[in-house]
Copies of this chain bind each other. A is one copy, B any other.
């Protein structure tokens, strides 16, 4: 990712970056990177909990970006985002891009059983109906969610951010592990980029019961393990993986995921889990709830990644080119 890209400054009278209430720190960092002020505007709450968006500077004909991670509380953050979009659209913005670093409900992307919703598609439909012209997101749970939209989506890959951290660890004898068989491809991609083997952890129903047993397929003894995933929610799967890996004699365990959701009881689980370090990005803000693991937690920033993407979108430059060099590295 070339930082020289910012040689020519953006015209802050033409691009406007606003933020909802879910992750204003990240939006501010992106603005700092872009060297444009964060747009003046805010979400206000009425006593009955309804919210209203007010924009305090003119946006007519401007290229507007509204940042909102749809993390917890997801429903409130989504509605707030829809209202921002409606507000900007009715205020005659030239283009409204919803920047959604963490895209909530992305796991509800299919019907595994009868009579359930496909909420990720619903959210895509509602974003379009509210009036979004484009979407930017990072590491969607399934790449197919991009196809849920008819408007253009720039799907950013935080892999380079995580890989850069991995490399600083200077580990030898590496094995990449997917904690879930649905995600082996991700482990394989890292192994191909950085060298090393892969292994998987198989979760099997025991005969005659509903309890499950896990066992490792592949060779891990004495190796450094890097567990990679797109998100850590309740940390159940990843902590189970740590335990069985340790039981199989691995050396050190490192965990990396783009989105640190850390929903209860993630902290209780992670506090006792036998890993060395865990890295997530700032797509979701970390509050003091991460105290139990703060010594082992690394928070990497996607602000530069998002900033470069926004700059390129604004200037009609290729966003996919952002990732070219990393792939060849």
A interface, CB within 8 angstroms of B: 41, 46-56, 58-62, 71-76, 78-80, 82-84, 86-87, 89-92, 94, 104-105, 107-122, 125-126, 129-131, 134, 142-148, 150, 152-153, 155, 181-182, 184-185, 188, 191-192, 195, 197-200, 202-205, 207, 217-218, 233-234, 261, 263-265, 313, 316-321
With a CB–CB cut-off of 8 A, which chain B residues contact A48? Answer: 71-72, 74, 104, 233-234, 261, 263
* Given A108-B52, A110-B144, A116-B52, A152 and B89 contact (CB-CB distance below 8 Å): yes
Question: Once the chains bind, are A320 and B115 in contact (CB under 8 Å)?
Answer: yes
Would you give the shortest CB distance from A308 to chain B, in whole angstroms?
14
With a CB–CB cut-off of 8 A, which chain B residues contact A199? Answer: 217
Would you give the shortest CB distance from A136 to chain B, in whole angstroms?
12
Question: Once the chains bind, are A47 and B185 in contact (CB under 8 Å)?
Answer: no
Which residue in B60, B110, B204 is a CB contact (below 8 Å) of A318? B60
Question: Once the chains bind, are A90 and B108 in contact (CB under 8 Å)?
Answer: no
With a CB–CB cut-off of 8 A, which chain B residues contact A144? Answer: 109-110, 142, 144-145, 147-148
Question: Once the chains bind, are B148 and A114 in contact (CB under 8 Å)?
Answer: no
Majority secondary structure of chain A interface residues (helix, strand, loop or mixed)? mixed
With a CB–CB cut-off of 8 A, which chain B residues contact A61? Answer: 316
* Given A46-B263, A47-B233, A202-B198, A90 and B129 contact (CB-CB distance below 8 Å): no
Would you give the shortest CB distance from A12 to chain B, in whole angstroms?
15
Question: Once the chains bind, are A147 and B120 in contact (CB under 8 Å)?
Answer: yes
Question: Once the chains bind, are A119 and B200 in contact (CB under 8 Å)?
Answer: no
Which residue in B91, B94, B182, B195 is a CB contact (below 8 Å) of A185? B182
Q: Give CA–CA (A184, B121) in the complex, Å.
A: 25
Which residue in B134, B147, B182 is a CB contact (below 8 Å) of A184? B182
Listed by A's residue number, 15 A-B pairs whose Cβ atoms lie within 8 Å are: A48-B72, A48-B234, A50-B108, A51-B75, A58-B318, A73-B76, A79-B79, A82-B126, A84-B117, A86-B117, A87-B115, A114-B318, A120-B147, A182-B184, A195-B207
